[in-house]
């Protein structure tokens, strides 16, 4: 649901992968494109994969990681879109199977039922990406209308260095 100031609201779901340290780049790009942003992180991602204080300062909102209790106010409005970045092997497989055992997964499962546009930037090592369950999960999520950015394995490129993670490309897919 669009914010009272007329800006659409984007949920950014952050999983526990090394590139999560740069999630602020996605938030900055989204805000430049006139989105308000709320971050939902997996519990493991909250344990040091990114600077939570910096992200809260950047969004002006608390990061959500745990379910709220009945009667607690909703800290975010309903989303106009969702970006999952980085999306890990575990999150992709659980989401595709309908498992909602964390706030992040519950949010993703619900977004489908609400028809909220969802974009995923997978960050999965090649050895895990070869697993048949992962390939089946990608197929199921695509059937559900989920849009995918280029997969990112984090593997070093020829000549050293790592490829750029497609933070801003996720916004283009919306």
| pLDDT score of 24 more than 80 | yes
Instruction: Tell me the pLDDT of the chain averaged across its residues.
Output: 93
Interatomic CA distance for residues 88 and 67, integer angstroms: 21
Burial of 22 (0-12, 13-18, 19+ CB in 10 A): middle
Percentage of residues in the chain having pLDDT higher than 70 = 92
With beta carbons less than 8 A apart as the criterion, state whether 105 and 93 touch.
Answer: no
The model's confidence at residue 99, banded by pLDDT at 50, 70 and 90, is very high
The model's confidence at residue 113, banded by pLDDT at 50, 70 and 90, is very high
Sign of the alpha-carbon dihedral angle for 44, 47, 50, 53: positive
Structural domains of the chain in order of their starting residue, each with its CATH number:
9-67+77-173 (3.40.50.1950)
The H or E element that residue 40 is part of is: strand 36-41
Interatomic CA distance for residues 93 and 21, integer angstroms: 22
Tens of pLDDT, residue by residue over 58-77, are 999 999 999 999 999 999 99
Tens of pLDDT, residue by residue over 144-162, are 999 999 888 776 666 666 6
| pLDDT score of 3 more than 60 | no
């Amino acid at each position: 649901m669009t914010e009272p100031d007329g800006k659409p609201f984007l949920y950014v779901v952050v999983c526990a992968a090394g590139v999560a340290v740069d999630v602020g780049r996605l938030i900055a790009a989204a805000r430049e494109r006139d989105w308000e942003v709320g971050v939902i992180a997996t519990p493991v991602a909250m344990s040091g994969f990114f600077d939570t204080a910096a992200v809260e300062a950047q969004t002006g909102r608390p990061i959500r990681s745990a379910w709220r209790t009945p009667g607690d106010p909703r800290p975010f409005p309903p989303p106009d879109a969702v970006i999952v970045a980085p999306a890990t092997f575990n999150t992709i497989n659980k989401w595709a199977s309908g498992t909602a055992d964390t706030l992040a997964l519950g949010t993703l499962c619900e977004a489908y039922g609400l028809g909220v546009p969802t974009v995923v930037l997978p960050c999965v090592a090649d050895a895990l990406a070869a697993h048949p369950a992962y390939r089946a999960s990608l197929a199921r999520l695509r059937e559900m209308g989920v849009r995918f950015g280029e997969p990112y394995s984090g593997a070093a490129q020829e000549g050293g260095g790592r490829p750029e993670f497609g933070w801003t490309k996720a916004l283009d897919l919306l």
